């Protein structure tokens, strides 16, 4: 079964190659994204390869009964999918159980651990320098930033993107450029960017319209707030902006954008829409709830939003899928006063499994070790709970709660229980026990916060790695060792990277080697990135490892690969990889590709994507706040679309 599940993680790159349009950076036809079909089919969460594969269905979304299409193009618009998916309402298929493996959680939550752009500021590898392992030499670093600064973005990137928006009529280029513009633009450029995006709200192509709507939120300026409120309400002003009644996806993105802007009027608009819309408008209500969770605990309306969400959580008539987004939004809102209502929900015997899963996530974000009843509640569920996914989320929640505790000695008995639980789970035998991989990641997360416990967890995880043959479990152990900076394991992981054939393992081993700064592996990894036979999934994982090493020598290799790419999967992976490395030297060659009329349009669109990621104004991708600590078992097409953005 595990081989089947592992294959499904990258299936979309084989059966539905990723394309490159706008908001969905994997492609103009969104073959790797969520289904726009409102009849209850969706793709699963962001996969290790960055593409979607068949997974458990979610309840029907409000909207059209079939996927919208691009007018006159014959291609599927944003939100559409040419792949099959599991229909909601039936039993989960064997394939859908793949949600329970650790890879899905990691791919949704990895950004805060990678933090590649921060690494690029702190150090840059010097060509030919040795690694810093086992006393074999100190790796030389240059303490200078390789990230592009605001001046470079304003003079080099933004003018090029603005010109593409003005001169291009290709939808792939337009929606890629407008989102890249928003990702790179700061407040001093807000007026210019809003002015460029507004006309695209009325574009006849849904992908362009929805990308422009989302870009106004990604920009983060309140100057577009009123327009987004009008689109969300779909009133007369909104319909003028969109040249007719707004599609449900555009309205859903308007809700998310208002959450990203988070001014007082935006918050009021979101609470009003949650109260006024019927549950049949699932995507719009869900995105409004997610948007409310993005405003942050220091927002002047945070307490009011908390009370509003708690009230909605207590509504027994609310659709369970919609309700499942409330606990995670409460968690992200960050108010510990919500712990009590979350505990009540977790204890509710009638709670839907989706709600239960999300509540475990929310408690992991809000509870503390000074709340032993909550911690023991989670421990008991790990040991005896019936829903496997909830048990996994409880394992991560315990790690997050323990890692935050600043008074270990005061709660030592409770810490000992968590340490004992995670340690026993890591050491369990048998391929059927999926807890091992989750416990290894949890142990790494926990002991990153409780540094005195790192030797204990390193010893257990390293022992588990050495004994393991299953590539998925072994991958989890490798990543956990990387998170714990266990440099003594680097040579062993590199040897396995070279000798083992499983591509998924090799990809995660490359990420682990990046965490460990094992620069002895850099030459081999660059060669793999450049090799034409390397799959997009592996190429991206290896490039991520190089990015973690701040290996700027990979940039010209990737630029050459993008320029010569003849498959969409390769273009997608390379664009993402260049963005992850984030080196300013990639800007000019990417501009050359994006503005070159002789280059195929899809490659130009991917160059826009890469420019947006390289020049992103924040350390983490703009959608990381939505992706992290989300319950990817409860998906609607609009959220899936956002999570699939590179």
Domain contains 604: no
The helix-helix angle for 554-564 and 522-530 (nearest 10°) equals 10
- Judge if 190 and 95 occupy the same domain: no
Q: In whole angstroms, what is the distance from residue 318 CA to residue 326 CA? A: 11
Higher per-residue confidence, 140 vs 564: 564
> Quick check: 522 pLDDT over 50?
yes
Q: Find out whether 20 and 28 touch, Cβ atoms under 8 Å.
A: yes
Domain that holds residue 14: 1-101
Instruction: Using the 3D structure, point to which of 79, 101, 123 is the last residue of a domain.
Output: 101
Encoded tokens for 83 = 């792949």
pLDDT score for 374: 98
pLDDT score for 121: 54
Domain contains 549: no
Half-sphere exposure of 372 (CA within 13 A, CB side): 8
The mean predicted confidence, pLDDT, of the chain is 82
pLDDT score for 76: 28
- Where is mean pLDDT largest: 8-22, 131-145, 437-451, 524-538? 437-451
Domain contains 522: no
Higher per-residue confidence, 483 vs 49: 483
Residues 6+ apart with CB under 8 A from 295: 259, 262, 267, 301, 302, 305, 333
Share of the chain above pLDDT 70, in %: 80
Instruction: Using the 3D structure, point to which of 256, 271, 295 is the last residue of a domain.
Output: 295
pLDDT score for 571: 82
The whole-number average pLDDT for the span 213-242 is 96
Identify the burial level of 129 via C-beta atoms within 10 angstroms of its C-beta, where 0-12 means exposed, 13-18 middle and 19 or more buried.
middle
Question: How many domains would you assign to the chain?
Answer: 2
Domain contains 212: yes
pLDDT score for 579: 80
Task: Place 145 in a pLDDT band, splitting at 50, 70 and 90.
Answer: low
Lowest mean pLDDT among 52-61, 144-153, 279-288, 509-518: 52-61
Model confidence pLDDT, tens digit, residues 380-436: 999 999 999 999 999 999 999 999 999 999 999 999 999 999 999 998 876 557 789
pLDDT score for 120: 54
Domain contains 427: no
> Quick check: 492 pLDDT over 50?
yes
Identify the burial level of 193 via C-beta atoms within 10 angstroms of its C-beta, where 0-12 means exposed, 13-18 middle and 19 or more buried.
buried
Q: Give me the CATH number covering residue 283.
A: 1.25.10.10
pTM (predicted TM-score): 0.85
Task: Place 46 in a pLDDT band, splitting at 50, 70 and 90.
Answer: very low
Task: Place 195 in a pLDDT band, splitting at 50, 70 and 90.
Answer: very high
> Quick check: 441 pLDDT over 50?
yes
Instruction: Using the 3D structure, point to which of 248, 272, 295 is the last residue of a domain.
Output: 295
pLDDT score for 557: 87
Higher per-residue confidence, 326 vs 127: 326
pLDDT score for 574: 85
Domain contains 603: no
> Quick check: 54 pLDDT over 90?
no
Higher per-residue confidence, 84 vs 633: 633
Domain contains 422: no
Domain contains 267: yes
């Amino acid at each position: 079964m595990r081989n089947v599940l592992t294959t499904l993680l990258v299936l979309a790159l084989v059966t539905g190659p990723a394309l490159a349009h706008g908001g969905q950076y994997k492609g103009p036809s969104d073959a790797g994204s969520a289904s726009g079909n409102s009849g209850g089919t969706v793709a699963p969460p962001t996969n290790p390869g960055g593409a979607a594969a068949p997974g458990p269905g979610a309840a029907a979304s409000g909207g059209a009964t079939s996927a919208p299409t691009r007018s006159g193009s014959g291609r599927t618009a944003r939100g559409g999918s040419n792949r099959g998916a599991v229909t909601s309402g039936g039993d989960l298929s064997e394939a859908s159980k793949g949600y329970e493996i650790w890879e899905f959680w990691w791919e949704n939550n990895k950004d805060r651990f990678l933090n590649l752009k921060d690494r690029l500021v702190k150090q840059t590898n010097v060509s030919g320098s040795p690694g810093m392992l086992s006393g074999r030499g100190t790796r030389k670093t240059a303490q200078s930033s390789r990230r592009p600064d605001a001046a470079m973005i304003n003079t080099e990137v933004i003018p090029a993107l603005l010109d593409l928006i003005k001169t291009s009529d290709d939808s792939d280029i337009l929606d890629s450029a407008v989102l890249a513009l928003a990702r790179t633009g700061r407040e001093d450029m807000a007026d210019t960017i809003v002015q460029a995006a507004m006309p695209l709200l009325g574009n006849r192509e849904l992908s362009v319209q929805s990308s422009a709507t989302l870009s106004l939120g990604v920009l983060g300026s309140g100057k577009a707030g009123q327009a987004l409120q009008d689109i969300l309400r779909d009133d007369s002003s909104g319909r003028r902006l969109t040249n007719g009644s707004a599609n449900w996806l555009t309205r859903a993105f308007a809700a998310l954008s208002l959450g990203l802007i988070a001014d007082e009027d935006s918050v009021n608009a979101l609470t009003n829409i949650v109260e006024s819309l019927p549950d049949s408008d699932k995507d719009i209500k869900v995105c409004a709830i997610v948007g409310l969770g993005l405003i942050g605990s220091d927002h002047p309306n945070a307490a009011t939003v908390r009370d509003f969400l708690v009230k909605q959580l207590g509504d027994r008539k609310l659709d369970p899928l919609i309700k499942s987004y409330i606990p995670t939004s409460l968690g992200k809102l960050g108010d510990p006063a919500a712990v009590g209502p979350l505990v009540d929900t977790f204890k509710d015997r009638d709670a839907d499994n989706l709600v239960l899963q999300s509540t475990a996530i929310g408690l992991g974000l809000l509870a503390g070790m000074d709340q032993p009843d909550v911690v023991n509640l989670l421990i008991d569920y790990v040991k005896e709970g019936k829903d496997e996914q909830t048990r996994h989320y409880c394992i991560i929640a315990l790690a997050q709660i323990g890692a935050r505790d600043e008074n270990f000695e005061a709660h030592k008995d409770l810490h000992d229980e968590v340490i004992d639980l995670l340690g026993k789970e890591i050491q369990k035998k048998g391929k059927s026990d999926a807890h091992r991989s989750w416990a290894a990641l949890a142990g790494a997360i926990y002991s990153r916060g409780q540094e005195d416990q790192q030797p204990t967890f390193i010893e257990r995880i390293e022992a588990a790695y050495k004994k393991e043959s299953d590539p998925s479990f072994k991958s989890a152990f490798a990543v956990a060792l990387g998170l714990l900076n266990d440099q003594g394991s680097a040579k062993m992981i590199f040897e396995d990277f070279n000798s083992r054939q499983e591509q998924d393992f090799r990809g995660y081993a490359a990420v682990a080697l990046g965490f460990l700064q094992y620069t002895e592996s850099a030459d081999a990894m660059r060669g793999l990135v450049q090799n034409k036979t390397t799959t997009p999934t592996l190429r991206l994982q290896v490039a991520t490892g190089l990015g973690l090493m701040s290996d700027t020598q990979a940039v010209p290799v990737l630029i050459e690969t993008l320029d010569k790419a003849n498959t969409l999967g390769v273009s997608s992976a390379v664009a993402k990889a260049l963005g992850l490395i984030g080196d300013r030297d990639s800007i000019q060659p990417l501009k050359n590709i994006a503005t070159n009329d002789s280059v195929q349009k899809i490659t130009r669109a991917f160059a826009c994507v890469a420019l947006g990621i390289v020049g992103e104004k924040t350390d983490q991708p703009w959608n990381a706040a939505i992706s992290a600590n989300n319950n990817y078992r409860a998906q609607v097409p609009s959220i899936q679309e956002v999570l699939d953005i590179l």
